[in-house]
Structure 1
């Protein structure tokens, strides 16, 4: 991949119901306004807070929208894609492509006693440092009395 970062792709069907603020996301891209070099796709640029997409939770910024109500967005002009979304109706079916970026380093394994995968040292080290500082300050204060 010429030194680039490889990523995994997954596709998902997402059904949204248009709300008071529409579908609740903005798009970029298209044949005339490529968002990614050599890719004429339509991408989610922003998820609007409390919009239909945000409330659903599956659509993410950066996702590539492949179809709207079964109509492919491949090689479509940006304005044509905008018009397609506007006229798609109240119930809109999307097929999207998520890009899953690989993690750096080894993947972690959450043990049975590990709350949420947070390493114990992340909790203990700052607590220990604060305790040492308080004890030192207390002893210095007592020496001055």
Structure 2
């Protein structure tokens, strides 16, 4: 699980700090591989980063962010990633700020990519071991 802290100004002007949580499952990885016609998502992300293909990187990152985002259940036993949770996040100032943060510093996007690709690489190894 990847934790990302964002700070943003709310609609009423208050400063809000929020911890966002992201997690990919094997099923998520299978869906990503299918969507991007890739057998190795981590390598695909590395490739578009090296090519500096910002348009494709933004598309992939937005897709991964929305796919991986979720909310921990109160008892801590579940990570809720249903469509309602995703839609609410996509419409939030926290989501907008996260995407803005990717562009404001040199390390924000690379840190997120590193965190997610590390998780993807682990999932790819686990998936390969199932075959």
Q: TM-score range by the shorter chain?
A: under 0.3
Which has more helix, going by share of residues? 2
TM normalised by structure 1 equals 0.24
Which has more strand, going by share of residues? 1
TM normalised by structure 2 equals 0.25
